[in-house]
Amino acid sequence: MSDAASNDPTRISRRGWLQSLVAVPVLGVFVFNYLKKRAADDARKQAIMSELGVTESGPAIIPNAISKPPGSKIRVGIIGYGGEGESLVRHAGFASPKWLEDAKKSVAEDPRDKQLDTYLHQDDLNVALTAVCELFDVRAERAIAASQIDQRPGGAAANPPAKRYRRYTDLLESKDVDAVIIATPDVWHSRITIDAAAAGKHVYCEKCMTRTEEEARAMHEAVTRSHVVFQLGHQNRQSEAHNKAREVIAAGVLGPITLVEATTNRNTPWGAWVWDIEAEGSPQTIDWDQFQELAPHKVAFSPERFFRWRCWYDYGTGLAGDLLSHEYDAVNQILGVGIPKSCAASGGIYYFKDGRDAPDTFQAVYEYPDRDLTFVYSATLANGRDRGLALMGHDATMVVGGALTVQADGDSTRYAEKIKDGVIDPGQPLFTYRPGFKGIDAVTSATERYFASRGLLYTYRGGRRVSAYHLLIGEWLDVIRNGGQTSCNIDRGFEEAITCHMATRSYLEGRKVTWDPVRRRIM
């Protein structure tokens, strides 16, 4: 080496080179350990997944909301435009001007509020809202305003205003109606559905399917004999997590399931059916006689009873028909349990002592001896603790809601070896399925949060948030156009109605009731 070279300040000595590359051995250690960790994680996951026989991806079969583009326009009539009716009509593509105004205000206040975005991004279902039957004038006007709204999903064009009918029978006679959405109090469901089926109008009916057992039998028979397409409003049928749960159960991941626990905890007056009484509601603006026409007890005009009808068994079915019905239908969707052998229910009006006769605290125990299974429903409307829906098997427990978690049981037979080997940790979820959505939704009210946590408000398709109501209505319209089966058809509806009525009967009569599958009677 020459002196000139060794004195060159820019020349890098061997030591300098080595020092500059100090990171190389460190990176070597990093890469080695990273790959080791990944391989260990992958092997563990692989071992669990191959043992389980399920995949981490979305459910293999998701009932498609729309199998073909909606070809022909379907003309829909709404019967009952209260809170639920307004929501269903909006999910069919017709928001009321007042709702739009409120939704815009909410978004301005909280950008996480996605309700307007969800509405505007719904598929255009190619329907027209042509007819409205509503007993309260103010709501009828609101429905008519919604029918001609120009802010439609997918930029669809506005329609001419819907015609108002004072009686549903007149609406069913109309030649401008192909299908009806029934969102009246439960007491009317059966009568209207039977008449609609006779008139050849397709039916989307809210739960609970009927108010009584007799109505359920009559309605089942009428719809089965007709050619109309029937859908019962259980949105969980479209929830990705529920469909995935069905797949996981089919793979036998939980082992023998002996106990299913479904729950309802809500802790707001709204969640306990103490709904707003609209100031304009009076005997002049409400057809009170028609409202209570089918109710077992007739009383003088009562705004409480009109606006908060779920609090009374004269019009509704209490916790059994309102919320147990959803939980039961989810269990029926996942396990296919059908009608139970027996039911013992109890409860009471322990918190909302406001004159109601439907209990605010309600428990029902159903037995399925043929399935070696007990299904317990436990509810209170005066506590907000989230207990979820849990399916308990000998080998694992599954909790279903907006997401899905499966946790191995420490004393499982099937996983004993893998637990011993440390491949499966019973303290950690074996499997978590979270429908894919990157982003945060604000769910505004406590009741909405309750529904969202149960997969009843929104679900995700291809990572995009979609309303489960919208998908269920879309499916119904698709079957009307293209044939096939709705996911909550009249047979599932009959099972739902009978199961709910068993609990109500048991509670009201203070005894255990049983189902006679031959005579098709609650005994």
Nearest to 325 by CA among 245, 217, 258, 237: 237
Stretch that binds other proteins, among 110-118, 138-146, 178-186, 270-278 (CB under 8 A): 110-118
User: Minimum Å distance from CB 112 to other proteins?
Assistant: 4
Alpha-carbon torsion angle 322, 326, 329, 335, nearest 10: -140
Q: Which is nearer to other proteins, 35 or 60 (CB)?
A: 35
User: Minimum Å distance from CB 23 to other proteins?
Assistant: 5
- How many chain residues are in contact with other proteins, going by CB under 8 A? 32
Q: Which long-range contacts (CB under 8 A, 24 or more apart) does 98-104 make?
A: 98/142, 98/145, 99/146, 100/149, 100/151
User: Which tokens hold the place of 301?
Assistant: 């005009």
User: Minimum Å distance from CB 448 to other proteins?
Assistant: 16
Q: Which is nearer to other proteins, 11 or 225 (CB)?
A: 11
- Render 177-244 in DSSP notation, one character per residue: -SEEEE-S-HHHHHHHHHHHHHTT-EEEEPSSS-SSHHHHHHHHHHHHHS---EEE--GGGG-HHHHH
Does residue number 46 form part of the binding site for other proteins (CB under 8 A)?
no
- The answer to whether 197 touches 224, Cβ cutoff 8 Å, is no
User: Minimum Å distance from CB 50 to other proteins?
Assistant: 20
Q: Which is nearer to other proteins, 111 or 200 (CB)?
A: 111
Does residue number 114 form part of the binding site for other proteins (CB under 8 A)?
yes
Stretch that binds other proteins, among 109-117, 198-206, 261-269, 284-292 (CB under 8 A): 109-117
Question: What character string, x for contact with other proteins (CB under 8 A) and - otherwise, covers 415-454?
Answer: -------------------x-xxxxxxx------------
Question: What character string, x for contact with other proteins (CB under 8 A) and - otherwise, covers 6-45?
Answer: ---xx-xx-xxx-xxxxx--xx--x---x---x-------
User: Which tokens hold the place of 148?
Assistant: 């001609």
d(C-alpha 243, C-alpha 385), whole Å: 25
- The answer to whether 362 touches 266, Cβ cutoff 8 Å, is no
User: Minimum Å distance from CB 400 to other proteins?
Assistant: 18
d(C-alpha 477, C-alpha 492), whole Å: 18
Residue with tokens 């940790």: 425
User: Minimum Å distance from CB 385 to other proteins?
Assistant: 18
Q: Which is nearer to other proteins, 43 or 523 (CB)?
A: 43
Give 373's strand partners.
368
Contact residues: other proteins, CB under 8 A: 9-10, 12-13, 15-17, 19-23, 26-27, 30, 34, 38, 110-114, 434, 436-442, 463-464
